[in-house]
């Protein structure tokens, strides 16, 4: 099914930060952030076992347990099974994302995209989330940033394992939709070329943002739109650098990225526009993108996101971005305020 009809609006809540990404978040702060999202009308929540070795799922499940299950849309991911035995979180091999969840739970994580592991992962997630069903399931991180040169072999194991299981679960009505959740464009391009199985949507993190969108524009987004495969944009603020933070691609931002952000900021100030607003609205302006799911760990951030979605941005700002080649010439921009 088209998830455009499934998702309750263009703004959801990405809960990777609830897995203690970058820092240890107090339980009460995590709970208050989810409640702030709920109070301000957010009804789509995305999580994954990977986020803190199950910590994000546990916290989200606890926070949503007292809300009616039919009132919200829930997605999680498969590809990693969380075990009861312990390991050193800071010593995990996470490809380009080393140390990302070193403050999370110490439970051992095993990468496994087979059919059996997919079913086990879903069952375990249901337990941590304290729910009887999932709406959307994403196949997580079958891409270069985690698996390097081995990524195509990992992708193939997912194609013959997780993809087919999720297609079957969707056909049986157990889940409503499935797709891939990745930080790279190439796995999604390959998937669109498959005869079967056919995903409903993709969760693409960090690749359709103000700072990084040209590759996705070339083939992926037009092809996805042509096949009615909706794109949910993860990381619209590029790991925080577009929202006043210091991270890009989950690491400290390099000098050339900081410089580009400073140029965007200067134009934004000239037009009286918030950079966060420009980033969020840009990621949603393409016909193929249907929702964005920024993450947050502080309750006040939710109101900022909602305000960013509705701020009026003059056409002159986008024209200046194009003139200074800070945005691709063929990238759709929001309708003029």
Among all residues, which ones are annotated catalytic? 46, 51, 77
* Tokens describing residue 269: 């100030």
* Tokens describing residue 44: 């789509």
Which distant-in-sequence residues (6+ apart) come within 8 Å of 106 by Cβ?
53, 86, 87, 88, 89
Mode of pairing for the β-strands spanning 13-14 and 44-46: parallel
Angle at 154 between CA 152 and CA 160, to 5 degrees: 100
Is residue 26 packed enough to be buried (19+ CB in 10 Å), middle (13-18) or exposed (0-12)?
exposed
Contact 33, 18 (CB under 8 A): yes
Contact 138, 76 (CB under 8 A): yes
Q: Which residue has the tokens 């989330």?
A: 129
For the chain, report the end-to-end CA distance as a whole number of angstroms.
32
Sheet containing strand 73-78, edge to edge, reads: 13-14, 44-46, 73-78, 136-140, 177-182, 201-205, 230-234, 289-293
Contact 80, 50 (CB under 8 A): yes
């Amino acid at each position: 099914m088209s998830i455009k009809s499934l998702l309750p609006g263009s703004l959801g809540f990405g809960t990777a930060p609830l897995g203690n990404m970058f820092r240890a978040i107090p339980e009460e702060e995590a709970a208050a952030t989810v409640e702030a999202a709920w109070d301000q009308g957010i009804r789509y929540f995305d999580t994954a076992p990977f986020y803190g070795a199950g910590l994000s799922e546990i916290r989200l499940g606890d926070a949503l347990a007292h809300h009616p299950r039919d009132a919200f849309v829930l997605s999680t991911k498969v590809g990693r099974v969380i075990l009861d035995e312990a390991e050193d979180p800071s010593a995990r091999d996470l490809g380009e994302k080393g140390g990302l969840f070193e403050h999370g739970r110490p439970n051992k994580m095993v990468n496994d995209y087979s059919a059996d592991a997919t079913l086990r992962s879903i069952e375990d997630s249901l337990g941590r989330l304290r729910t009887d069903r999932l709406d959307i399931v994403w196949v997580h991180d079958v891409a270069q940033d985690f698996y390097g040169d081995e990524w195509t072999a990992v992708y193939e194991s997912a194609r013959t394992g997780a993809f087919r299981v999720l297609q079957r679960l969707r056909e049986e009505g157990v889940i409503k939709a499935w797709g891939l959740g990745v930080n790279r464009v190439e796995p999604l391009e390959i998937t669109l070329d498959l005869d079967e199985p056919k995903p409903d949507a993709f969760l693409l993190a960090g690749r359709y943002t103000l700072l990084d969108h040209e590759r996705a524009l070339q083939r992926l987004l037009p092809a996805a739109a042509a096949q009615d495969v909706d794109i949910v944009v993860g990381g619209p603020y590029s790991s925080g650098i577009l929202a006043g933070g210091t991270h890009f691609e989950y690491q400290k931002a390099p000098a050339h990225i900081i410089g580009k952000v400073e140029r965007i900021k200067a134009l934004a100030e000239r037009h009286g526009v918030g950079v966060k607003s420009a980033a969020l609205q840009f990621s949603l302006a393409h016909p193929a993108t249907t929702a964005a799911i920024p993450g947050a760990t502080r309750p006040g951030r939710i109101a900022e996101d909602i305000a960013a979605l509705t701020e009026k941005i003059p056409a002159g700002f986008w024209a200046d971005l194009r003139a200074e080649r800070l945005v691709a010439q063929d990238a759709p921009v929001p309708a003029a305020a």
